[in-house]
Amino acid sequence: MFFEHIGFPKDLKCAGVWVACVMAVVFSACLPPEKKAVKNIRTGFEDPVTRRIYDLQDRQQMDSLYLYLHADDPTYRYYATMAMASIGDSTCIDSLRPLLQDRHRDVQLACIYALGQIRSERAELPLLESFDPWDSLSESTARNAAILEAIGKCGNARYLHAMATVTTYLPTDSLYQLGLANGIFQYSLRGMVDHEGTKRMIEMVVDDRRPASARLTAATYLARTTGITLDTLVPELVTLLRSEADPSMRMALALAIGKSGSELARTSLIGLFPLEKDPMVRTNMVKGLSHFPYPDIKDVLRSAFQDEHPYVGMVASDVLMTTGDPKETPEWLLYARSIKDPWVKAALYVAISRMCPVYLPVTRTAVQTDIRRAVETIPDPYVKAVYIRALGKFGWNFPYLLQLWNKNRVPHVKTAAMEAIRDISDRPDFNTIFGVSAKNVRKNLAQYFLAAIESGDVGSMATAAGALRLPAANYRSLIRSDSTFRKAMNLCQLPKDLEAYNELAQTRAYLQNKDYQARKLAYSHAIDWSILAKVKANTRAVIKTEHGTIILKFYPDEAPGSVVNFIQLAESGFFTQKSFHRVVPNFVIQGGCPRGDGYGALDYSIRSEFNQLSYDRPGRVGMASAGPHTEGTQFFITHSPTLHLDGRYTLFGEVETGLDIVQQILPGELIQEVEIIY
């Protein structure tokens, strides 16, 4: 009855599973009673024991943390369990298992979250055993919904179909609907897709009786997931796109509709584009049109390049690059010369450089002349970097790109030049471009990459190391010496240069046909609890930019280490005149890199703090990282809901006012100052 009720396959009713279920019930029943009465969980870190637990989490001292999983006080059990969620070590699964039956619901939910975050199939059975199929009084609804999401993070593929075909949940069962949506979405992030799951997600999107949170997750699934078919439901999605008030939903719907490739989808996106008021939605409408033939979308692309918001034109460049007709390059060159916005103009030149065919030599020469002139004359290093990217779209620019790399000292420009050389190396049509010279060019590029690795410039080292791992290039046959990599790794200052170090180590292992394991950072930065003690509900960070002010509120109870780190950096003046070095239209703006190219850091790192908050709306503030527990100075602010970041990047704050300012930031624009107001 248990398996039928929740929709799991009947063939799972084997003796072993039933014995495990019975043993779990017996085990939980035999747990010793608490010595003290159950209290409410106390959020915050005024309690020295809670701070002690968090310090153990920071040091990842799991043996000591295990003791607190059995504490009388549920506050300590809760924070010890959440520590396991952030550490993510599968060896703690058996120790967490009893807490699925904890007397305190928040501890149960923390345990479910932690088991999902560990992302191991070993967590699957404990989660299934904990599911309550007889929840007639809705006492286990929140727990069951959390289990559905956790199964999506760690469950076997067969449970996806079972989850997708559950019929016992009503559209008005808000938590169950959200749990189902989250579970199916989490499966998709692991590359597991089921037709019934897609069908369930479409039902959620078009049915306004479902909770808004579940509908947004479902719409995000339809927008992001590859290999799904939406053709027959385009009319319903188009109707919703026309009527939906929430711009976040419209953003996702625009991408989902475009993926269908149907005539109705094309005409709808084209017709609604000039009527849409929100530039983020217009940006996604242009992205959605990338699935259609160039002649059908050419006019909209021209309009996009003239849009009042540069993000729209920047995205249109990517669409043109993948869909454009090479024969029309001369027309687009003239058009690019007429564009006033420097960012849109530079982005369009990237597309034109990629499009221009060999049978238009005059145009090809003109395009490359324009681009080189821009590289030599434009003072803004971030706009210059876009033109350098354009140079990387024409293969024979590789000697000139090496000259740029050699003579530039601005990290962002230097890294951009090496990235452009990497892009040439990575082209699938490499042999066609270079013909009989391909072998010699490949040797030259190998030497370029080795020179970058020997340079000591971490951005160049990381980029070049990654380029050498392209299997099709077979650099393994061209590079014999291991000493270059050993010396370069010794040049890296840890923890500051961890990203470059790991890229070098991975390439070294690849060239030697050996397995690779990323180096993990040791504990290096204690939380200053005296700073956290000053953080109150009304504490704010005021980020001043040339466009206006962005005001952030913090989540100190969920991510104290990240909040304290951000405040320390702000109050030391670190962020002053640092750039927003990375801007991805309708995704994030990212700042806080001391180099300005994304490879910079200070001489410490902080730990990841994965919590149950969600990147479910624009303006969420998270810590950038090069993997778990590698955070330092770089942070990002989202343009739109980014649910795929949940549980993977520390979420520690949110934009309270100034989201419109966030959506105006362009690459390289400076943080004038960050002020902390208590």
Three state DSSP letters for 439-502: HHHHHHHHHHHHHHHHCCCHHHHHHHHHHCCCHHHCHHHCCCCCHHHHHHHHHCCCCCCHHHHH
- The region of weakest confidence among 48-52, 171-175, 436-440, 663-667 is 171-175
Is residue 484 a part of any domain in this protein?
Answer: yes
Is residue 31 over pLDDT 80? Answer: no
Distance (Å) of CA 49 to CA 42, 62, 65, 530:
12, 16, 11, 15
- The contacts of residue 94 (CB under 8 Å, 6+ apart) are none
Q: Are residues 31 and 82 in the same domain?
A: yes
Angstrom distance (rounded) from CA 132 to CA 135 = 6
Does residue 106 contact residue 41 with C-beta atoms inside 8 Å?
A: yes
Is residue 655 within a helix (H) or strand (E), and if so which, with residue range? strand 651-657
Task: Provide the edge-to-edge strand list for the sheet that holds 635-638.
Answer: 582-584, 588-591, 635-638, 620-623, 651-657, 549-554, 540-544, 673-677
* Chain mean position to CA 193: 20
- The contacts of residue 520 (CB under 8 Å, 6+ apart) are 629
Q: Which long-range contacts (CB under 8 A, 24 or more apart) does 554-558 make?
A: 554/652, 554/653, 555/611, 555/613, 555/651, 555/652, 555/653, 555/654, 556/44, 556/45, 556/532, 557/43, 557/44, 557/45, 558/609, 558/611, 558/612, 558/613, 558/651, 558/652
Q: Give the tens place of pLDDT for each residue, 434-476.
A: 999 999 999 999 999 999 999 999 999 999 999 999 888 999 9
Q: Give the tens place of pLDDT for each residue, 110-128.
A: 999 999 999 999 999 999 9
Q: What pLDDT was estimated at residue 310? A: 98
Q: Are residues 576 and 601 in the same domain?
A: yes
Q: What pLDDT was estimated at residue 249? A: 98
Average pLDDT over residues 223-252: 92
- The region of weakest confidence among 168-177, 325-334, 405-414, 587-596 is 168-177
* Chain mean position to CA 662: 18
Q: What pLDDT was estimated at residue 11? A: 41
Q: What pLDDT was estimated at residue 30? A: 37
User: What is the number of residues in the chain?
Assistant: 678
Does residue 363 contact residue 328 with C-beta atoms inside 8 Å?
A: no
Output the domain CATH number for residue 671: 2.40.100.10
Q: Give the tens place of pLDDT for each residue, 513-548.
A: 999 999 999 999 999 999 999 999 999 999 999 999
Does residue 615 contact residue 646 with C-beta atoms inside 8 Å?
A: yes
Does the CA dihedral 532-537-538-543 come out positive or negative?
positive
| Three-state secondary structure call for residue 550 | strand
Task: Indicate the pLDDT class of residue 233, thresholds 50, 70 and 90.
Answer: confident
Domain end position, chosen among 519, 554, 571: 519
- The contacts of residue 404 (CB under 8 Å, 6+ apart) are 375, 388, 391, 413, 417
Task: Indicate the pLDDT class of residue 136, thresholds 50, 70 and 90.
Answer: low
Token pair, residue 264, equals 């109705």
Q: Which residues pair with 541 in a beta bridge?
A: 552, 676
Q: Are residues 509 and 534 in the same domain?
A: no
Task: Give alpha helix (H) positions in 492-636.
Answer: 498-511, 529-534, 560-571
Does residue 551 contact residue 542 with C-beta atoms inside 8 Å?
A: yes
Q: Are residues 468 and 538 in the same domain?
A: no
- The contacts of residue 565 (CB under 8 Å, 6+ apart) are 525, 606, 631, 632
Instruction: Count CB neighbours of 537 within 10 A.
Output: 7
Is residue 550 over pLDDT 60? Answer: yes
Is residue 53 over pLDDT 80? Answer: yes
Angstrom distance (rounded) from CA 52 to CA 68 = 10
Q: Are residues 542 and 489 in the same domain?
A: no
- The contacts of residue 426 (CB under 8 Å, 6+ apart) are 467, 470, 473
Domain encompassing residue 587? 529-677
Q: State the amino acid at position 386 in one-letter form.
A: V
Token pair, residue 519, equals 């180096």
Instruction: Count CB neighbours of 334 within 10 A.
Output: 11
Peptide bond into 428 cis (omega under 30): no
Q: Are residues 629 and 654 in the same domain?
A: yes
Task: Indicate the pLDDT class of residue 22, thresholds 50, 70 and 90.
Answer: very low
Q: Are residues 51 and 142 in the same domain?
A: yes
Q: Are residues 25 and 120 in the same domain?
A: yes
Q: What percent of the chain has pLDDT over 70?
A: 94
Q: What pLDDT was estimated at residue 622? A: 98
Q: Give the tens place of pLDDT for each residue, 604-620.
A: 999 999 999 999 999 99
Q: Which residues pair with 543 in a beta bridge?
A: 550, 674
Is residue 309 over pLDDT 50? Answer: yes
Is residue 431 a part of any domain in this protein?
Answer: yes
Distance (Å) of CA 189 to CA 3, 119, 347, 458:
25, 12, 30, 31
Q: Are residues 28 and 145 in the same domain?
A: yes
Strands 582-584 and 578-579: unpaired
Q: Are residues 18 and 142 in the same domain?
A: yes
Average pLDDT over residues 27-39: 45
Domain end position, chosen among 167, 191, 217: 167
Is residue 248 a part of any domain in this protein?
Answer: no
Is residue 82 a part of any domain in this protein?
Answer: yes
Is residue 581 a part of any domain in this protein?
Answer: yes
Is residue 577 a part of any domain in this protein?
Answer: yes
Q: Are residues 533 and 560 in the same domain?
A: yes
Q: What pLDDT was estimated at residue 656? A: 98
Is residue 263 a part of any domain in this protein?
Answer: no
Is residue 10 over pLDDT 50? Answer: no
Nearest to 292 by CA among 261, 319, 270: 261
Average pLDDT over residues 370-385: 98
pTM of the model: 0.93
Is residue 211 over pLDDT 60? Answer: yes
Is residue 635 over pLDDT 90? Answer: yes
* Chain mean position to CA 579: 20
Q: What pLDDT was estimated at residue 484? A: 95
Residue with tokens 């902390």: 676
Q: Are residues 106 and 142 in the same domain?
A: yes
Is residue 102 over pLDDT 70? Answer: yes
| Three-state secondary structure call for residue 591 | strand
Q: Which residues pair with 622 in a beta bridge?
A: 636, 651
- Number of domains making up the chain: 3
Domain end position, chosen among 479, 495, 519: 519
Output the domain CATH number for residue 110: 1.25.10.10
Angstrom distance (rounded) from CA 470 to CA 449 = 12
Angstrom distance (rounded) from CA 600 to CA 180 = 40
Task: Indicate the pLDDT class of residue 134, thresholds 50, 70 and 90.
Answer: confident
Task: Indicate the pLDDT class of residue 38, thresholds 50, 70 and 90.
Answer: low
Is residue 492 a part of any domain in this protein?
Answer: yes
> Comparing 18 with 640, which gets the higher pLDDT?
640
Residue with tokens 């007639």: 136
Is residue 125 within a helix (H) or strand (E), and if so which, with residue range? helix 124-130
Average pLDDT over residues 270-284: 97
Per DSSP, 241 falls in state H
Angstrom distance (rounded) from CA 79 to CA 69 = 9
Q: State the amino acid at position 478 in one-letter form.
A: L
Q: Give the tens place of pLDDT for each residue, 76-94.
A: 999 999 999 999 999 999 9
Angstrom distance (rounded) from CA 437 to CA 501 = 33
- Average pLDDT across the chain, whole number: 93
